[in-house]
Chain A
Amino acid sequence: MKEKMKAKKSFNSNTILLLITIVLFMVLYAGGCIAYGSKGFTHFQTFLNILITNAGLICVACGMTCVMLTGGIDISVGALIAMDCMMLAVGMSKGIGAVPMVAIVLLVGVVFGFVQGFLVGYLEIQPFIVSMAGMFFCRGMTAVICTDQVSITEKINATFYKWANTKVTIPFGGYVNNKGKYMVPYVRPGVIVALIVLILIFIMLRYTKFGRSLYAVGGSAQSAAMMGLNVKRIKMGAYMLSSILCSVGGVCYCLNTMAGSVTRALGLEMDAISSAVIGGTLLTGGVGNVIGSFFGVLINGTISSIVKTNGKLASSWPNILTAALLFIFIVIQSVFGALRARKK
């Protein structure tokens, strides 16, 4: 009897959204393999490269998911990453060590998240307005730090350079290239960081008081307050978490790009939001998890990867496709929401 009830549970609309996402990823990836198999798309390394490129985005999407669970949104993330990269690049070229610089970046994330969270949680200003101002602030601040592109080379900071070029090899899934050499598949340290973040946030959302209260606030802020939760503090916590994870993501991102510039990570907020939405996080809050967002990131990454492998498609295609996917999923959510409302 109990088994039957559980089976029923796994078939509600939210699970369906997640299933759609996973299937979509598989179809896209399989499509890529079929179309571009000759260009090496089928190699395991291609998949790993998607992870390497998007390590930063995975961290950001985790934070975004937490904010969206409360029914909010944070569009400052792309600009914050640009600022992080610029700070890392400029700081290290001024001779500050890699470890202190990373610590500074994380601290800036905490402070920035605190301000945004305070404005949203305690002053009840629309999250969109707050984070839009945050976005412009960070973008502008990046330019205030330095208007040029600053690269991080081995000469500037050997430690950071070493981190960036470390290969974490994987003992299986390699292939022999056309010169007859066995290629060992690998990931970069950023991927490891991102996956640790993913697991930690997954556990936090499922097994801690704070994690569950994010869901409660998103489900009904009024009810949550009635049940004795401190809604203001929880909201503030969500925005702080988002900015901190974004800074962690910023470091991963910088390890991948090794440069800071004003236009770094332009539109990344969009990728993060669409990853979360595609992964089944409701814009209205209360529903979603980071596993879905992870698959959302993979879908975005696969699209970019396909466009890049093709080589002939215009560079703006990934942007358009991401927006189109976001559009489709928003409409699906809206329709599901209307259906659910009608059932009541």
Chain B
Amino acid sequence: MKIWNKIKSWPLLLPVVALILVMAVNIIHDAAVGDNPLSFFMISLRDTTTNGTILFGRIIDIINRGSEVAILAIGMTLVVSASAGTDISVGSVMSLCASFMCMNLAGYGVSSTTTLAKPLIVGLLAAVLMGALCGAFNGTLVSHLSIQPMVATLILYSAARAIGLLLCNDLIVYVRNPSFAFIGAFTGPIPTPILITVVCIILISVVLKKTALGMYIQSVGINAKASRIAGLNSRRLRFLAYLLCGVFASLAGIVASSRITSADSNNIGLYLEMDAILSVALGGNSLGGGKFNLAGSIIGAYTIQAITTTLYALGVSSIQAPVYKAIIVIIIVVIEAPPFKAFIRKHSAARATKGVKA
């Protein structure tokens, strides 16, 4: 009983259970189609003509493909914690940053290039700057004009892709340059996106560990009034959360763009805001703000990717996958909803008294 209670209060319970469930589905599916049931966990080295010797396996694939969601989940976690709202513009901001970067790298109006018009670093910085700008825009609307977070971010959600298209002169800009493609390819045997994600996670962990940012944001999210009395500037902190969210979105955009060596405005980051929000919720964080658990969000992100990959393996196409994710979101928020909890409590209490009477 005691152990059960301990398990029940473990913050990573939800994401880990979800992850185990996904793995179980994979094992059963593999066994059913006659594969090795453990093929989900196999990792091997393989020689390829394009990238040399690389790590290969479904888990590697999930961690690799999950990079963007994991990076987005970091920023989203901060935003949810500080403002009790979500930033639904991250997918579009990713796309805008990618477009802006590719426009810089290829030159305006060029649709395909193999040589870079500007040094790579300029393009990358441009993307990050654009992300920061978008984050600052959202942050100003939310913190200084007190507009509901989701309405405020709705503006960029719809405009960012369009602006990206405009920057690219309505074209899909291809930058087929090895130094750029490297970001979405391999470093030795390891996929570079994984390394970038690891760097992001380490960076934010160090920041949270070495500065008081984490406590500040949680404090503001839990009780903004009391935080103000205790000397925190809740407006500035909310702004900062959105700013960081924008920057992380730009990093995710760089990775996504480099994978396909192009800026495809209409498709980069499509539906990813949903995945990011889902990661945060799945990570055991309340969408009502306050306490956050970054590790949970990141595990959540990879769980989402595992779900996506599994769905694909089961024959669901990428444009059909949102159906299942939407159902998962609804299940999670319903479980979290206070009226639902009250209903369950009442129900189980009624059953308990019935049991006593009987």
Q: How far is the CB of B344 from chain A (nearest CB, A)?
A: 12
Q: Is A317 an interface residue (CB 8 A)?
A: yes
CB of B159 within 8 A of CB of A319, answer yes
Is A28 in the interface zone, CB < 8 Å from B?
no
CA of A316 to CA of B324, assembled, Å: 30
Q: Contact: B155 with A327, CB < 8 Å?
A: yes
Q: Which of B37-45, B142-150, B188-196, B200-208 contacts A (4 or more CB under 8 A)?
A: B142-150
* Complex contact A129–B141 (CB within 8 A): no
Q: Which residue of A122, A141, A334 is within 8 Å of B323 (Cβ)?
A: A141
Q: Which of A268-296 contact B (CB under 8 A)?
A: 270, 273, 283
* Interchain CB contact under 8 A, A323 and B322: no
A270 to B151, CA, bound (A): 10
Contact A319-B287, Cβ < 8 Å, known A123-B337, A330-B151: no
Given A267-B158, A324-B159, A330-B141 in contact, is the A123-B166 Cβ separation under 8 Å?
A: no
Give bound CA distance, A20 to B325, whole Å. Answer: 41
> At the interface with chain A, which of B12-20, B65-73, B224-232, B313-321?
B313-321
Q: Which of B112-120, B122-130, B301-309, B328-336 contacts A (4 or more CB under 8 A)?
A: B328-336
- Residues 319 to 358 of chain B near chain A (Cβ within 8 Å): 319-327, 329-330, 333-334, 337-340
Known: A137-B327, A330-B141. A126 touches B287 (CB 8 A): yes
Contacts of B172 in A (CB 8 A): none
How many A residues have CB within 8 A of the partner chain?
42
List the B side residues contacting A133 at CB < 8 Å: 326-327, 329-330, 333
User: In the bound complex, do residue B327 and residue A316 qualify as a contact, i.e. CB atoms below 8 Å apart?
Assistant: no
> Secondary structure of the B side of the interface?
helix
Which residue on B lies nearest to A139, using beta carbons?
B322
B132 interfacial contact with A, CB 8 Å: no
Q: Which of B150, B320, B340 contacts A123 (CB 8 A)?
A: B340
> Are A317's CB and B158's CB within 8 A?
no
Residues facing B in A90-144 (CB within 8 A) are 119, 122-126, 128-130, 132-137, 139-141, 143-144
Partner among B141, B166, B271 whose Cβ is within 8 Å of the Cβ of A136: B271
How far, in angstroms, from A75 to B325 measured CA to CA in the complex? 17
Given A316-B165, A316-B170, A320-B159: A124 in contact with B338 (beta carbons within 8 A): yes
| 8 Å CB contact of B334 from A73, A123, A135, A140 | A123
Residue of chain A at shortest CB distance from B321: A140
Measured CB to CB, the closest approach of chain B to A247, in angstroms, equals: 19
The answer on a CB contact under 8 Å between B323 and A136 is yes
Using Cβ atoms and an 8 Å threshold, which residues of chain B touch A270? 154, 157-158
Q: Which residue of B lies closest to A335 (CB)?
A: B145
**Bound complex: CA of A317 vs CA of B238, how far in Å?**
31
A218 to chain B, nearest CB (A): 14
Tell me whether B163 is interfacial, beta carbon within 8 Å: yes
Cα(A331)–Cα(B146), bound, Å: 10
User: A315 and B170: CB pair below 8 A?
Assistant: yes
Q: Which residue of B lies closest to A273 (CB)?
A: B154
Q: How many angstroms between the C-alpha atoms of A316 and B145 in the bound complex? A: 27
CB <8 Å contact, B339 and A143: no
User: A244 on the interface (CB 8 Å rule)?
Assistant: no
Q: Give chain A nearest CB distance to B63 CB in angstroms.
A: 24
Check A137–B326 contact: CB distance below 8 A: yes
Q: Which of A137, A267, A322, A331 contacts B322 (CB 8 A)?
A: A137
Instruction: Indicate with 1 or 0, residue by residue over A292-334, a CB within 8 angstroms of chain B CB atoms.
Output: 0000000000000000000000111101101110110011001
Contacts of B245 in A (CB 8 A): none
Whether A144 lies near B166 (C-beta < 8 A) is no
- Cross-chain contact A144 with B147 (CB below 8 angstroms): no
Give, as a whole number of angstroms, the nearest-CB distance from B311 to chain A: 10
Closest partner residue, chain B, to A330 (CB atom): B147
Q: In the complex, what residues of B have CB within 8 A of residue A267's CB?
A: 158
Residues of chain A within 8 A (CB-CB) of B154 are: 75, 270, 273, 326
Q: Which residue of B lies closest to A131 (CB)?
A: B150
Taking the closest CB of chain A, its distance from the CB of B4, in whole angstroms, is 27
Q: Is B274 an interface residue (CB 8 A)?
A: yes
CB distance from B155 to the nearest CB of A (A): 5
Q: Judge whether B175 is part of the interface by a CB distance below 8 angstroms.
A: no
Instruction: Please report the C-alpha to C-alpha distance between residue A308 and residue B169 in the assembled complex, in whole angstroms.
Output: 17
Do A123 and B339 touch across chains, with their CB atoms under 8 A apart? Answer: yes
Q: Tell me, in angstroms, the Cα distance from A56 to B59 when the chains sit together.
A: 46
Residues of chain A contacted by B329 (CB below 8 angstroms): 129, 132-133, 136
A319 to B271, CA, bound (A): 18
Compute how far the CA of A119 lies from the CA of B332 in the bound complex, rounded to whole angstroms. 12
B162 CB–A CB distance under 8 Å: yes
Tell whether B152 is near chain A: CB-to-CB under 8 Å: yes
Q: A257: CB under 8 A from chain B?
A: no
- Determine how close the nearest CB of chain B comes to the CB of A131; give it in whole angstroms: 10
Interface string of B57-96 (1 = CB under 8 A from A): 0000000000000000000000000000110100000000
Nearest neighbor of A320 in chain B, beta-carbon distance: B162
Q: A123-B339, A129-B333, A144-B320 are known contacts. Are A136 and B155 too (CB-CB below 8 A)?
A: no
Q: What are 8 A-B interface contacts by the 8 Å CB criterion?
A: A123-B340, A124-B337, A125-B337, A128-B88, A140-B325, A316-B161, A317-B162, A334-B145
Binding site for B on A (CB under 8 A): 73, 75, 119, 122-126, 128-130, 132-137, 139-141, 143-144, 147, 262, 267, 270, 273, 283, 314-317, 319-320, 322-324, 326-327, 330-331, 334
Closest 4 CB pairs of A and B: A140-B323, A323-B159, A140-B322, A316-B162
